[in-house]
Structure 1
Amino acid sequence: MKHTHSEQEELLDKFNKGLCTPEEIAVVENWYNKQSLISKDELPEPDLDDANDAIWKGISGKLTAAGYQAPSAVRTFSIKRLLVAASLFVVLGAGLFYFATQYANGHKESLATTQAQIKPGTNKAYLTLADGKRIALTDSTTGTLALQGSVKITKTADGQIAYQIVEQGKEQAGKYNTLEAPKGGQYQITLIDGTKVWLNAASALKYPTKFDGAERKVELTGEAYFEVAKDKKKPFRIISDNQTIEVLGTHFNVNAYSDESAIKTTLLEGSVKVFRTAEGSSYKILAPGQQSVLSPSALNVKEVDTEEAVAWKEGYFIFDNDNLKALMRKLERWYDVEVDYQGIADDKTKITGTLTRNTQLAEVLKLLEETDKFKFKTEGRRITIMR
């Protein structure tokens, strides 16, 4: 049955309002990807309409036949970001090429040909207490993990770490804990002041069990998203390599991985000051929708799409004109793998797309191989990339 324009418009309206079912979301995303590649300059209007209708009908039918099921937590991005969960765009030189594996065929083949799937990351982290004791949080049961002076550390029913003062008046200065999310892990923590922190893979946060003095100071390596509790009397400061961020209460993301070329701080709500340590009191003030980029030589500010910066927290990868090595660094952290490059010395291939972070690594690599630019060899947790 042919879809009418009114039916398409009705479904798109539902999509933009966030009212679509997972199956309807899949239909819209797939239709948009393919429709966007048809040039109105190349097809007469009637042919263009027929082509769009055929694409819509074909995708809807294939997804229904395949028994497509979207991830349990579906995040809807703006229409400019729409990309099917198993699709990517690849820029080769001046040309733009779209490729996508059909969900039914690609999914079945992946399961049939892959003996040992490398699974995506999970909620996994280690907590190191002030006395040096290291707790594997994945193996810990719900309830009290430790008592440090006047502070109780608990693991909540939803798997988070929370700090609570249980006895007022005890001295607690100098008691620092470290939360570490290894490669293949992520974790959420609520600090003693109510600040919430989401820690990405291959990241660590060092913090006091109790904020004494005139400030709330933590140290970050890697990436984290912060929702800082407001306290006008005690500014919140995040220390990372050659950068300090100062806030009173706000929402923002910090990407400070040591293997990236710059530290990126992206503000979603409120206001922050970003200091370049090498320049002492020199700083930039960010407004919502802005990102500071700290390179070895300068601190700059630009307008950005904040969805890209926090996509990892929402369960997605967003690749925005990434070169292969930048993309693979993200995969290395989340899938806990090591990557070797053989005969790939340039980064001319640019990749744009959106993938859920619960996608099996084999499926991601298969998509990349569809470009005919790369071949992947998997041995244990080592991935070798070849031409």
Structure 2
Amino acid sequence: MDNARLKTLLQRYLKNDLSAGELQELLELMRGDASYGHLQQAIEQALTENSFAGAADKSRADVVFRGIMEKAAEVAPRKRISLYHMAAAAAVILVAGALSLLFLHPFQPEKPGMAHSSGNTKKAVSPGTNKALLTLADGSTVVLDSAGSGTVAQQGNTRVLNLGTGRLVYTPGQTTGSIVYNTISTPRGGQFQVVLPDGSKVWLNAASSVRIPSAFTGHERQVELTGEAYFEIAHNKEKPFRVIVGETEVKVLGTHFIINAYANEPVLSTTLLEGRVTVRSKGKEVALIPGQQARVKEGIKVLEQVDTEALTAWMNGRFSFNNAGLDVIMRQIGRWYDVEVRFNSTITDTYSVDISRQVPLPELLRFLELSGGVRFTMNGNKIVVDKN
């Protein structure tokens, strides 16, 4: 990427002195950087120079970004191009560079069809937060988002601590007597982290649950999962760790992996980031190496070198998709914002998105609309998807 040229074009844009041809050149430069690294450096340098002092203001940065997006839409309003790849990169830069905070000032689109609302909404749709429900062995429950910090339960000789930061920790004492089981579940619009009795860590995504014992005894460690979770398993060669998801079993010794087992996803997937796991289902078994993904449906299919950063982006508070179908994207949006999604049309375009999971929902839908080919209508907690 020509950083000097990019800075020059940005400077001319901020001065409202950019021709149509130069705008197209600016978009091409921004689209061309697949790694985002050079783009981030160029824009951050440009916006911190004296001639860009006005852009450091929150509202000015807001205008800069949205202005580029609006003009880009005017350049190619009906043509499906890789514009959104540029938009995603710009969003990452402006948010991460502390220039934008643009989502703190929600922007209501003025053009017809841009993520508009139908009817009056009683309550604004908010992004998800750290919240979960702990179900104890006796059937009693503890709401973790309102339980405060400290000990929330005693299960046998194990204390259950809520750290008040979206994390629940099991601290076992001397193992005696019978082992009891707890379930930690997140609602739609919730996420939570659990530190298991052996020190292993589990990050639960929205609408997920994990059933765990109060202590790991015997010759193995075993938990049961629904939904999606990322695991960091404490190494113990004497006690293999097993995750049971319906008829599928994932066995590890000590490793990092993610399982996506939502009922409304087309396949159950296990993706390995570090170490080694085996995936067994209906009498078939495969071993994975880092970067591979096992997909379970009728049988087990292994994909090579999947995008692990995109798959774990939710743990870092981001949505990240690379040429993903809109159905895939909207399933995640539905779970995180706790909204219902209905498709009135079949959308075959793919989209690339890399953006904070704290962005207001209308802004996120608007970004997708600017990519072309799709139109959203919001009515309360319902989203209707149509072709544009």
TM-score for both structures, normalised by structure 2: 0.74
The match for 1:163 is: 170
Taking the aligned partners of 1:319 and 1:206, their CA distance within structure 2 comes to 29
The match for 1:384 is: 384
The counterpart of 1:225, out of the listed 217, 222, 230, is 230
Taking the aligned partners of 1:127 and 1:192, their CA distance within structure 2 comes to 15
The counterpart of 1:215, out of the listed 220, 224, 236, is 220
The counterpart of 1:327, out of the listed 329, 334, 340, is 329
Amino acid at match of 2:107: S
Taking the aligned partners of 2:61 and 2:177, their CA distance within structure 1 comes to 53
Taking the aligned partners of 2:222 and 2:323, their CA distance within structure 1 comes to 35
Check conservation: 1:180, 1:204, Cα contact below 8 A. yes
TM-score for both structures, normalised by structure 1: 0.74
Root-mean-square deviation over aligned CA pairs? 3.8
Check conservation: 1:341, 1:384, Cα contact below 8 A. yes
The match for 2:81 is: 96
After superposition, residues 1-387 of structure 1 pair within 5 angstroms as: 4=4, 34-37=28-31, 61=52, 63-66=55-58, 96-99=81-84, 100=87, 110=107, 117-166=124-173, 168-173=174-179, 175-276=180-281, 278-279=282-283, 282-342=284-344, 344=345, 346-387=346-387
Q: Which runs of 5+ in 2 are unaligned?
A: 9-24, 34-41, 95-99, 111-116
CA positional deviation for 1:68:
7.4
Taking the aligned partners of 2:276 and 2:26, their CA distance within structure 1 comes to 36
The sequence identity of aligned pairs, in percent, is: 35
CA positional deviation for 1:386:
2.6
Q: 1:119 to 1:33 in 2, by over 3 A?
A: farther
Taking the aligned partners of 1:227 and 1:67, their CA distance within structure 2 comes to 41
Taking the aligned partners of 2:134 and 2:372, their CA distance within structure 1 comes to 43
CA positional deviation for 1:373:
2.6
Q: 1:32 to 1:121 in 2, by over 3 A?
A: farther
Q: Which runs of 5+ in 1 are unaligned?
A: 9-30, 40-52, 71-83
Q: 1:93 to 1:146 in 2, by over 3 A?
A: same
Amino acid at match of 1:231: N
**Secondary structure of the corresponding residue to residue 327 of structure 1:** helix
Amino acid at match of 1:290: Q
Relative to its length, the structure with more helix (as a share) is: 2
CA positional deviation for 1:384:
1.6
Amino acid at match of 1:218: V
Check conservation: 1:127, 1:179, Cα contact below 8 A. yes
- Corresponding residue pairs, total: 329
Q: 1:141 to 1:68 in 2, by over 3 A?
A: farther
